[in-house]
Every structure is written in C-alpha cells, then in structure tokens.
Chains A and B, each alone.
Chain A
Amino acid sequence: MQRKLISKLLVACLAGTAAVAIGSAAWAAGGRNAEGKSPPTPRLENGTVDLGGNGIWNLPYITDFAKRVVGGGEIPYLPWSKAMWQYNKGNHVKYDPEGLCLPPGGPRAMGTPYPAQFLQEKDRIVVIFEGGGHVWREIHMDGRKHPQGDALNPTYFGDSIGHWDKDTLVVDTVGYNERSWIDYGGRMHTEAMHTVEKFTRPEMNTLHYEATIDDPGAYSKPWTVAWDIPWGPNQELQEYICQENNQYMADLRDDFGQPFFRQTPKDPDHQQ
C-alpha cells in the first residue's frame, strides 16, 4: 500500500516509467518514504529476517559502554577491573589494542565506527567489518555446540554459535582471548567472558543490537548494553587497512617515556 503510494507520488511529480523504476529500486533498497518512515523488515524466501540487502550497516562510534547499559545501572566491576579501567582512563587510553590495529573483538566490533555487512548462509552468518583491522567474524548456525576443553582456543572473536528465536538472532560466544578491550573507554575482560548478543531488524533501516557481558573474572554479575545501528541504503564497503602506516605505534611511549615498541638490541660483533 505504501509502496503504491510512493509510486503514485513519483508518477505525479515526474511523468515517465523510468523514474518509477528507479524510485522503486531505491525504495526496495532502503531509504525513507514520503512520510519519513522506513520500509518494513526484509525477509528471505523462507521467512527468516534478512540482515543484508543492497547497503551497509553504518556502525556507530560507541566509546563508553557505561552510557549504553540497559536500565542505566552501574557496571558491576570487580576491584581489579575497576582499577584497570581507571588507569586506562587516566592515561587517555593510550594502550588501547585497537590503536595498535588489533581486532576489536566481542561487542566492541559493533561499536567501531566503520560499516559492516552480514552474509547470511544456511549454516553460518559471516559479519564482515570494514574497520577494526580488516576483520570478519563467523557465527555457526548449524546447531553445533562450543568446543570443550583445549579444543576451544582463545581468540579475539571467540567461538560463536547462533540460532533464531522468532525474529531475533541470538548469538552465544565463549573462547575470547584477553587481548582486546570491552570498549574504547578502557574496560577489560578475561578469558572467562561469555557474551550473548541479540540482533533484531524491526524495520528495514534499523538493526537493534544488544549484548550481555558475563565475565565472572572481571565483573560481579552480567551486564547488558544496547544501541541502534542505521542502514545505509545503496552504500558499499570500502577498503581500510589499519596496519599500513600506523604512526601512532611509532610514537607511542610507555609510562616512563620510553618507546613502547623497542628494537631488539644488536650484537655489535655479529657479522651479517
């Protein structure tokens, strides 16, 4: 009905079928109708919510997870994780791993401000990120369980298994390494971190993201953050290579004013 209205408007404004065709294509890809409303949630042929389409998700810059806590409560730090957060904040988060071009890992990837796309296959969903060190993550959708024991090797993005709960993609992840920060603000986590993320697309133009962080190594109880991600219709990913010319690394000094990355001392007697 709305679609017909748009078509009529276009016809009324501009004579000719070519304009209608172009307008319909733009409408199907996203954008807004004459009343400023988003098109409805797109779906695959089997009825599953389609997280893709002709466009990109313009991930927002979420620098401070404390401002995104659902319900507005305090982050339930353990004493050490609070002290480390304060230390990192105190030195302007200069040791942020992402500043060294390491992957954001975990929920922070959805708040690192470069666009992303979801590639939705039957047995997996792959999320590709333009930023964060040119990374992607894979969500297994084939019903498997997490690897157990030493088979679970800690990594930046961990091991993710997902399923659809009606129209919500629920992703359970364990096996994170400790080399990433939870957010730009300098909050840390341990290998015990377990996250449950929920992705919904209530309309064409919005991806609602929610992540529960459960890390008994760093926080006294689970806490949840959430934000909305806008759709960029007809836009495409571009290339971004963080590692190319990272002058920040060359200039980084430690707490004693010495270069953070040192060259290995050379043996003056060694002949090459």
Chain B
Amino acid sequence: MRDQHRRLRFSRREFLRGAGTTLVALVVPSVWARPGRAAGTDPVVVSIFLRGAADGLSLVVPHGDPDYAALRPTIKLSPGTTLDIGGFYALHPSLAPLQPLYQNGSLAILHAVGSPDPTRSHFAAQDTIETAALGAHGIATGWLNRYLATQSVTGSFAGVSIGSSKALALAGSAETISLVSLDTFQPGAFLSAERVVAWQAIFDAWPDQRLSQASDEMLAAAAVVSSVSRETSVTYPDTDFARSLRDVAALIKSPVGVRALTVDLNGFDHHTNANAQMPLVAGTLADALAAFQQDLGTHASRTLTLVMTEFGRTAAENGGGGADHGHGSVMFALGGGVHGGRVLTKNGQWPGLAPENLFEGRDLAVTTDFRDVFAEILRRHLGVADPSLILPGFAADPVREPGLWT
C-alpha cells in the first residue's frame, strides 16, 4: 500500500511538470523572488487616501484669506499656532514633521483641488477619484491598475494595497494584490507543496475563477513576502498607519518590483469636534510620512507619494464644532523629484472664501481637477506619453497640469 501511495504522489508531480505548471516553483521563494536581482530603479507611486473627506482648510490654512476666520469662529486656527509657509498659507501644527520636507523642496502642496463632480457622497466621490472616471459608474478599474496594465510588469507585486481589501485604484486586469501587513502574512509550513497542489486543482475546477486567481495571488505573496527584509534603521511611530508605511518602504527597498502602492488613513469625517479630532489624524499622517520619507533613503527620488481625499468640508463650520461635506481640498505630493516648497493653485490664484466665490455658496471651489494632477504624474513621473489613454473621457493637456515638476 505504502509504495503505491508514493508512486501516486510521484506521478502527480510528474504530471504537473509535464503540464508545464509552475505550481511547485511558486512555493519556493528563491525561484519566485529572484533575490539576486538588484532593487528596482523604476518609478514608484504611493497613493495615500485620507478617507472621510479631509478638511483642506485646516490642514493647509489660508490665513491670507480675509474671510477664513469669520467662517470658523470655533475651529479656526490662529496664525500664532500654525506653521507659516510663505505668508498666505500655514500648515496645521500637527503637520510639523512635514515642514522640513516642504522647506527642503521635496514636498509640494496642491490647494483647491478635487473632483469637478459635485457629489457629497463619500463613497461616490472616492470611487470617482480612484477610477478617475467622472460619472461613469460602469468603470470598475482603478487608474493605477490601468497604468500598470500599460507597463511590461510581471508578478502581482507591481501593485500592492496595504489593507484588508484591494483599493479600487488598483482594481483591474493587471495583477495586483492586497495585504493587511507583512507581519500577519507569514504562512510558513502551512503552505506545504501537497496542500497547494490540492487547492490549486480544486480551485481551478471552480467556475468562479476569482478564487483560483486569489489563490495564485496568495501563493505569490507568500513567496515574495518571505523574501522582503523588514529591517530598517528608522524609528516609526506606534500607529497602524505608520506600520503600513513601514511595509510600503520595505517593499520599495526590496527587489520585488513594486510600482504602485495604496494605503488608507481613516478618520477625517469631522462633522463634530474637529479641534480634538484633527490634531490626532493630522499628526498620525505627518509623523508617519516623515519617518517613511527618511526610510526610503535613495529610493525617495524615484518614489512619488500623493496624499488625497474625496472632497473637502464646508467653508463655514457647522453647529457642532465640525464641518459638513464640502468640495475643494488639498493634496500633498512628496518626493519623486517634485519641485516642492510651493503651494500650487490654478494659475497661482486662490479661489477665495467670499460668499460669491464659494462652490454652491458653501464650499471651497475646485479649481484644479484631480485628473490634471494624475495626468502630470503619469506623464512626468511615470513616463506615460499620453495620459488620456489611462484617464477615460479626459483629454489630458500639459497646459492644465499643476506644474509639480516645473
């Protein structure tokens, strides 16, 4: 009996080899991860989404606007408490770790930026930005995935979402994966070759091919993750967001071929009590970003980090010491050789907070379309000759780009 079993096992392996499958290879890290390869030199995009509609007027305060203070009697920030960046604007005090990056020119700020779509639904607006497709509910692919699809990249680690599910920005035909963290993804001996062979055969026979696709991703991820060094000399803050960025840096520094990554930071929906809430989340953001940028070291010049949110909040505060859903907000562009140390607005003009300048009479206007920001990143940082091919229904025009690299 025993001999018979051994023969069977052997025959199955032989059968698999005969079919040209790489299943067994998949669980051998040295084959998959090619550790001999040098760390990449390709450009990388890190997309950080501030979920909940971050208040751009508190993150980057327009002190020079004569209407600002009166609109926000209890949640305004006074000039004495904020960090001045050039007179008109000032950073929220909790963004202090970003000030040196602004001063040394590696951080650029975009203001009055957002989606021209007027929706104030978190979910519709997040989808619009991640798909970069206005009013096109049929489009279920993300802009970063469509970018990856145009590149000759191999392996699912080209696109990585840090989180329990894949960000829409990375969904699509190009292989990408999501991971909660490098630490929680350590399958070890559980992925024995025999189990893997059985799963693959079972999942391949199942009509819903998403299952076998997920299984392939799982095996690839297991192999790659085990090859990623998580050592760093930088001390990160003790937050989940910082741990996510530490993993992002580890992946960028490892030769696993990452090109686009996404991380979320929740907690920006400040309908009430913004004075207590904003310092916490702004601090979480800035502390982690500063550590991350330091950790990237020589990879900082090829890594552009773009921080965005779905929309801003009303110019006037509401009755609860917060602000409701608004329109224009801010973006931060860090590293990747941007010409930083500047707050970029359309034609250098601040749209203003006077009643007649507000969008629908209540919100900071959007004068820079987020797609013009994406277009510039695609063209200047990622080397895509015609960003229109990646931004559906959008005629990209370098003239409208905000000028992150000029």
Q: Do chains A and B interact in one complex? A: no
A residues near B (Cβ < 8 Å) are none
